[in-house]
Structure 1
Amino acid sequence: MSTPQQASNPERRVDLDWVRILAFGLLIFYHVGMLYVSWGFHIKSEHRLTWLEPVMLVLNPWRLSLLFLVSGVASRFMLRKVRLAAFVRARSMRLLIPLIFGMLVIVPPQSYLQIVESLGYPAGFADYYLHHYLAFSAQFCPNPCIVQPTWNHLWFVVYLWVYTMALAGVLSLWPTAADRIGDKLAAALTGPWLLLPCLLFAAWRLFLSPIFPSTHALFGDWYNHADYATAFLIGFLLARQDRVWHDIERQRWVALALGAACFTAFILIYAGWFPRSLMLRWFAGSVYGCYQWIAMVAVLGFARRHLTADGPVRRYLTDAIFPYYIVHQTAIIVIAHALRDSGLSAGSEAAIVIAGTALTCLVSYEVARRIGWLRPLFGLRMEPRSTAGVARQQPA
């Protein structure tokens, strides 16, 4: 049985809008958490919260893959309305303009403050920007070296554009590929075979991750490419396969239980509860990869069943979330640096960083959406928003 949202408006996947909104929203909290865990980040708080790592690991394996999957679905719906050439132009404008703007304006404070805190850079931001940031070299090496200019958190935009262009290239040579391959994939994922993509994600984790650690540098980042491109393609190919989406909704509780089991097994190994061995590493990689796909199935299934409410909040956030994403990490790093040596507790510091970041995102979006020439710089359509425009909008 289809939900009211799918039945009344098959051209609009409100549930996936909400998934995208919530996933990007969680990204703000996740990146605030990166200030306090042992994993590498651009700057670090003086506080360490070891209990936070297992909590963040609940999200870490699948949060970005899910965004690529949703982007694949959105791309398929867009191609139903425009020709391939228009699709390529629209996606390039929507992604490359904010990428270039972000690299030139939004990201530089992140690199500057990282160098200040890691290497004690003595000069001001203007000196750094004019003499170093635009030098197209790796002049600072806080481990790893910072190649400048950089895209930092905007790597997602780069990867999404590359996958989109590669897909467009295939479709230009084989226009019926999406329908033909999508039909075969949907038939292969019938019933319990819905979990079959686990094998792909587990294979990438086992065979590519040890050789190609995550860099987000585009070239040589083959594990991440295999992971994210797979999710993007699955979303694109299955976007119009209603039977598969029905199965995803129907098996949401099974996916939740299996995902919990996989995550429990992985976290016990991660925490060192068992002696290290080659077989154990293989098992850990397998359950990690399976957890990636199963968690996405669970999220998508529960979203399709429950996140069907539409209204002004959904429309506002669907438009706002990409500008929020562009701004959020710079806000986190600037605010966290300003609070350094403040003597605040971890809880107070984190609360200020979260609140300040949310306010910065809100103000940035409200300003950008009201000024015509700023809109494309923040990933918004050139024309002012209208009711019709909102209705036609698809997720980035």
Structure 2
Amino acid sequence: MSDPSPRRYDLDWIRIGAFFLLILYHVGMFYVPWDWHVKSPQPVAWLEPVMLLTNPWRLSLLFLVSGAATRFMADKLAAGALAGQRTARLLPPLVFGMLIIVPPQSYYEIVEQLGFSEGYLAFYGRYLTASGGWCDAGGCLITPTWNHLWFVAYLLVYTLALAALIAWAKPALRRLEQGLARLPAWALLVCPIIVLGLARAVLLPRFGITHALVDDWYNHVLSFSLFLFGYLTAKSDDVRRRLISLRWPALAVALVAYGLFSLYAWTWREAVAEPAPGLVLAMRFVYAVDQWGAIVAILGFGARHLNRPHPALAYLTLAVFPYYIVHQSVIVVAGHHLAQSGLPQGLEAGLLIGVTVAACGLTYEVVRRLGWLRPLFGLKSEQHSARGREQALPIQNG
């Protein structure tokens, strides 16, 4: 297999776009009628199909791109060094986030949902000691928690698992890589849909999605499979050419599947009776078609049009992980208070987006200037960045 480019700028652009979509998605979670940490008192029902536009593929795509970026790292490092570097880059932000960044999310959640009124300091002591006892009919809030930082925890675990595979089963990985490179275009589109559909049909009803790591088996099969796929195909020019050739057909099937699943979800939400089991099963595969079709289309269009540098790319590549770490807490805190302001909802939503982006940007500008803060937000130390062009984890190409 050839390695035609020393850098995949398209993967950088896709990663940045997916993370910024995630910010908009979590703003949407404040308004859509689905359950979340805090909610607008005026839910917006028409947002549901809008949210479903990215819901099947946004995080799956990030795990795939993370695996691809890990390949570029792994080719330069021994398995032990890879595991050590990733642990050093991902574990501090995860721990810092659980102790400092995430707690306001849990605080405002129990303020809104349980009427907690004892103040933040009283809450924080119980948050750290897991002695909150914050329960309602839907269950209990277990703390400390990682909330949206579950992605970082899972990425760390997947990287360590991959490092073990590299150390102990590298010939098997090589055979898988060669097999994927030989797949014809139709199989590259169809076979993953079958795998994803079967996983959703068999594992999702049994395990659900918990983000709790130890019992999240459907999510592990989904996310680690895509992480491994990204690792195995990152340097395959054959796979890249086939993704480019599939971009329009994949987009077409993804849009059709999105329309079908959105209609089903909207109808189901409004229906009194549960849908027939056969329909539920069929929709699990329709969801997989939407999921993989969108991923293939994004990768194909990205490889065709985005594999080029830009002056903004270096800044955005560095900024995206600190933005990710803080964005959800900003949305929760700002959303809770803006909802009490009495502003028109459209103005309120615009302010919520603006406040979130501004707070994320300010955080990054402060963090990147303070050496002791940089590791806590996934940035290399100043000493390392001085020796070469820095890249932000969790997903980087070199």
Partner residue of 1:155 out of 150, 157, 162: 150
Quote the sequence identity (%).
Answer: 49
Q: Following TM superposition, by how much is the alpha carbon of 1:384 offset from its aligned partner in structure 2, in angstroms?
A: 5.3
User: What is the CA–CA distance in structure 1 between the aligned matches of 2:258 and 2:104, rounded to whole Å?
Assistant: 36
User: What pairs with 1:49-60 in structure 2 (closer than 5 Å)?
Assistant: 49-60=44-55
1:115/1:140 contact within 8 Å kept: yes
Instruction: Structure 1: give runs of 5+ residues left out of the alignment.
Output: none
Q: Following TM superposition, by how much is the alpha carbon of 1:170 offset from its aligned partner in structure 2, in angstroms?
A: 1.7
Stretch moving more, 174-183 or 63-72? 174-183
1:62/1:292 contact within 8 Å kept: yes
Q: Following TM superposition, by how much is the alpha carbon of 1:76 offset from its aligned partner in structure 2, in angstroms?
A: 0.7
Task: Give 3-state SS (helix, strand or coil) of 1:251's partner.
Answer: helix
Q: Which residue of 2 aligns with 1:314?
A: 313
1:369/1:384 contact within 8 Å kept: no
- Shift in CA distance, 345/384, structure 1 to aligned 2, threshold 3 Å: farther
Q: Which residue of 1 aligns with 2:66?
A: 71
Which amino acid in 1 is paired with 2:321?
F
User: What is the CA–CA distance in structure 1 between the aligned matches of 2:58 and 2:114, rounded to whole Å?
Assistant: 32
2:302 aligned with 1:332, yes or no? Answer: no
1:38/1:48 contact within 8 Å kept: yes
User: What pairs with 1:1-396 in structure 2 (closer than 5 Å)?
Assistant: 7=4, 10-130=5-125, 132-137=126-131, 139-142=133-136, 143-187=138-182, 189-195=183-189, 196-272=191-267, 276-383=275-382, 386=385, 389-390=388-389, 395-396=395-396
1:15/1:308 contact within 8 Å kept: yes
User: What is the CA–CA distance in structure 2 between the aligned matches of 1:135 and 1:22, rounded to whole Å?
Assistant: 37
User: What is the CA–CA distance in structure 1 between the aligned matches of 2:176 and 2:142, rounded to whole Å?
Assistant: 40
Task: After superposition, give the CA deviation of every residue in 1:342-366 in whole Å (9 maximum; x if it has no partner).
Answer: 1112211111111001011001111
Q: Following TM superposition, by how much is the alpha carbon of 1:385 offset from its aligned partner in structure 2, in angstroms?
A: 7.4
Which amino acid in 1 is paired with 2:184?
T
1:259/1:291 contact within 8 Å kept: yes
Task: After superposition, give the CA deviation of every residue in 1:80-128 in whole Å (9 maximum; x if it has no partner).
Answer: 1122111111110111110000001100111111111111111111121
Q: Following TM superposition, by how much is the alpha carbon of 1:144 offset from its aligned partner in structure 2, in angstroms?
A: 3.2
2:380/2:390 contact within 8 Å kept: no
1:138/1:145 contact within 8 Å kept: no
2:71/2:231 contact within 8 Å kept: yes
- Shift in CA distance, 225/253, structure 1 to aligned 2, threshold 3 Å: same
Task: Give 3-state SS (helix, strand or coil) of 2:389's partner.
Answer: helix
Q: Following TM superposition, by how much is the alpha carbon of 1:387 offset from its aligned partner in structure 2, in angstroms?
A: 7.6
Task: After superposition, give the CA deviation of every residue in 1:210-246 in whole Å (9 maximum; x if it has no partner).
Answer: 1111111111111111111111111111112210111
2:247/2:297 contact within 8 Å kept: yes
1:183/1:241 contact within 8 Å kept: no
User: What is the CA–CA distance in structure 1 between the aligned matches of 2:385 and 2:146, rounded to whole Å?
Assistant: 32
Which amino acid in 2 is paired with 1:212?
F
Task: After superposition, give the CA deviation of every residue in 1:309-332 in whole Å (9 maximum; x if it has no partner).
Answer: 313310110011000000000000
User: What is the CA–CA distance in structure 1 between the aligned matches of 2:341 and 2:390, rounded to whole Å?
Assistant: 46
Normalised by the length of structure 1, the TM-score is 0.94
Q: Following TM superposition, by how much is the alpha carbon of 1:169 offset from its aligned partner in structure 2, in angstroms?
A: 1.3
Normalised by the length of structure 2, the TM-score is 0.93
Instruction: Structure 2: give runs of 5+ residues left out of the alignment.
Output: none
User: What is the CA–CA distance in structure 2 between the aligned matches of 1:211 and 1:280, rounded to whole Å?
Assistant: 18
User: What is the CA–CA distance in structure 2 between the aligned matches of 1:388 and 1:311, rounded to whole Å?
Assistant: 22
1:324/1:362 contact within 8 Å kept: yes
Q: Following TM superposition, by how much is the alpha carbon of 1:300 offset from its aligned partner in structure 2, in angstroms?
A: 0.6
User: What is the CA–CA distance in structure 2 between the aligned matches of 1:328 and 1:336, rounded to whole Å?
Assistant: 12
Which amino acid in 2 is paired with 1:252?
R
- Shift in CA distance, 182/307, structure 1 to aligned 2, threshold 3 Å: same
Task: Give 3-state SS (helix, strand or coil) of 2:170's partner.
Answer: coil
Which amino acid in 1 is paired with 2:201?
L
- Aligned residues between the structures: 388
2:207/2:215 contact within 8 Å kept: yes
User: What is the CA–CA distance in structure 2 between the aligned matches of 1:180 and 1:63, rounded to whole Å?
Assistant: 29
